[in-house]
Amino acid sequence: MYENISGLIDLGAESKYKIAIVGVPKAGKSWLAYTAPAPLYTFDFDTRSESLKEFCRKYKRTDISGKSYWDKNPNAPNAMDQVEADISAFEYDKQRGKEIPKTYVLDSMTYMRTAMEHTLIYQQQQLSRKIKIGSTVLNIPQGWDIINGLRAYMDYIVGRLSELGNVIAVFHETDETDKAKSTKEVRAYTGMKTVQPVYLATVLSLFNDVFRVSVDYSGKRIVTTSPTSDFMCSTSMKLDPTESPNLADMIAKHQKASQV
């Protein structure tokens, strides 16, 4: 069927998952991401390698690896160059039939944004303005062009990784500002939650599943998969509205339900 159409989606191929995890600091976003199907590789932009080490020690995991990406000098950035070089290495290994990670974690998108800003400004100075802090001059992003550039850059990175395997992206949570009711003196809020910075909310559309991790009244971590009164979670999987914090188990549950 449709023999003249090239590049048709292989409906029988193994599913790859694109999942966004949203939550407040210390809610367990990174730990939830590490429970995704292994072998797993994490792009650590938050320079929190100790958290990854602690997770691996606690659960005796040897199938997780990763690397920290950050710019020692924002005016001479190299973090995103390293990211792209490492993705290219995984792509090359895949072409040669070598083992590559099954899941790729971007932790977090909030701080990957900073590395992307440095790179975009380094390449195009007009996207910034200069400020001086002591004897140091820093380039601060300005205008909508850099915001649009960041969104496109994130789309590009997520797209390349999704060709390799599952993609798990971690976002920091914040209160949604009510622009209509806010004034210069007082900021009003809608009562809804969104991602930080707020303009990255549109990036969530890149992901088939948007989960929110939180801590309930008893101190137990839970994962919300369905929309609530204050956050628009969503899922393409067959899951309950709330789940225990283990992505591999959640995916296995979905796959089992899909076979029925």
Say if residue 8's pLDDT is above 80: no
Are the C-beta atoms of residues 75 and 136 closer than 8 Å to each other?
Answer: no
| pLDDT tens digits for range 67-111 | 999 999 988 999 999 999 999 999 999 999 999 999 999 999 999
How far apart CA 27 and CA 170 sit, in angstroms, is: 12
| pLDDT tens digits for range 204-234 | 999 999 999 999 888 899 999 999 999 999 9
Helix (H) or strand (E) segment spanning residue 6: none
The pLDDT value given to residue 170: 97
Residue by residue, DSSP assigns 81-150 as HHHHHHHHHHHHHHHTT----SEEEEE-HHHHHHHHHHHHHHH-GGGEEEEEETTEEEEEE-SHHHHHHH
The pLDDT value given to residue 131: 86
Mean pLDDT confidence for 127-145: 86
CATH class of the domain comprising 18-259: alpha beta
- The model's confidence at residue 184, banded by pLDDT at 50, 70 and 90, is confident
What's the whole-model pTM score?
0.92
Q: What is the DSSP letter of 14?
A: P
What percentage of the chain exceeds 90 in pLDDT?
76
Say if residue 4's pLDDT is above 80: no
Q: What distance lies between CA 74 and its chain's CA centroid?
A: 22
Q: What distance lies between CA 87 and its chain's CA centroid?
A: 15
The pLDDT value given to residue 224: 97
Phi, psi of 147 (to 5 degrees): -65, -45
